[in-house]
Structure 1
Amino acid sequence: MHHRSHRIRRTTAALTVLVGSLTACGSDALERCVPEASTTASAAQLVGTYEGSLEAEGVRLTLTATPGGNRGGTLTAENWPTGNFHKSQPGRAFTGTGTWEVEDARPPKGRSLIRMQFDDPSEVTSSDTLDKLSIGIDAKRIFVYDDSDPDVCPDFRLKLRQN
C-alpha cells in the first residue's frame, strides 16, 4: 500500500548499498540497527517487555505466554498508536490488552511475524493500526518492528528489555 515512487526506493537502495560498501570495508563492521527478520522465532523467545524508540518512543508492549500454549499468549500495549502512521498521520494512542501469536514464516517473504489482536476494537479506530510486527533476533538482542521497507532501518521498533 505504499504510494512512494519506486524510483525513490531504487535510488535509496542503491545509495544504501554504496554507503554500506564504503563504510563496511567488506566486513560486517556495522551492527544492523535491528537483527535480521527471523524465520524461526518461537513464542517462548518473545515473552517479556519491549520498550520503543524513535517513532515508537514511549510505547511499551508486554507479551505473556499462555500456559501450555506454544503459539502465543496475552499482550498489554501502552501508548500504542492508532491510525496510519506510515503516512505520518498517527491517531490517538491507546493502552489496551489483547492476544498475540507467532505466525510462521511463509513464502515468499519467509519471515515470522507477531500477529496481535486487541480486545477493544473501538480503541482501534482505523484498519491501519499496526497489528503485525516482524521479529528480529540475534545473539544479544530481540526486537519487534514494523518492517515496511527492508532497505531502511525501521523507525517503529521495540527492544526486549533484558532483566
Structure 2
Amino acid sequence: MTLTLKGSKNKPDSGTVTVYDWPTGDWYRSELGETFDGSGTWSVVQGGTSAIEFAHLSLSFTAPERFLNGDTLDSLTIAQGDGRTCLYADGDPEVCPAFRLPPSRRWSRPGWRGRDPKGLSWPLPPASA
C-alpha cells in the first residue's frame, strides 16, 4: 500500500494524492475488490485545542471514481511516532494503532507544507507482515 502526496504552490497544506493498493470500503468492494489504485486531493485539517485532538489528513478520491466520505479510508491522524511524523487511521494514535504509515524518506516541515516538488510518499507493508 502506498500513499503519495504532492503539495500545491497556491494552497499550503493541500494538493493531490495518489494511492496504490489502498483499502476499498464496503460499498465498492464487490466492484473494485479489496484494494484500489486511485487519485484525488488532500488537505490538512488542524486539530482542536485539547491534547487528544490531532490534526488530520483528509483525502478526497475522484479516481477510479468519486468516493463519498467514509466509503474508504479517507481521514488519517497526523502525529509523532518513533520520533517521526506518521499517519494513523485511528483518531487517537495513543491507542495501539493497527494502521500506521511512517514516511518513506526524511522530510522537513517546509516540505510538508507544499514546498517539496517531489511530494511525500508513505509505503506500508502488507497487512500480513
- TM-score, normalised to structure 1's length? 0.51
2:101 maps to what in 1?
Answer: 158
Question: Structure 1 residues 102, 159: CA separation in 2 closer, same or farther (over 3 Å shift)?
Answer: same
Q: Distance in 1 between matches of 2:88 and 2:8?
A: 22
RMSD: 2.7
Cα deviation 1:2-61 (Å, max 9, x = unaligned): xxxxxxxxxxxxxxxxxxxxxxxxxxxxxxxxxxxxxxxxxxxxxxxxxxxxxxxxx110
**Greater Rg by CA:** 1
Residues matched between the structures, number: 99
Any gaps of 5 or more consecutive residues in structure 1?
1-58, 85-90
Q: Distance in 2 between matches of 1:81 and 1:111?
A: 23
1:65 aligns with 2:7: yes
Instruction: Give the Å deviation of 1:148.
Output: 5.3
1:82 aligns with 2:6: no
Structure (1 or 2) with the greater helix fraction: 1
Q: Where do 4+ consecutive residues of structure 1 move more than 3 Å?
A: 121-128, 148-152
Q: Distance in 1 between matches of 2:71 and 2:6?
A: 24
1:92 aligns with 2:29: no
Q: Distance in 2 between matches of 1:115 and 1:61?
A: 12
1:112 maps to what in 2?
Answer: 55
Question: Structure 1 residues 144, 150: CA separation in 2 closer, same or farther (over 3 Å shift)?
Answer: closer
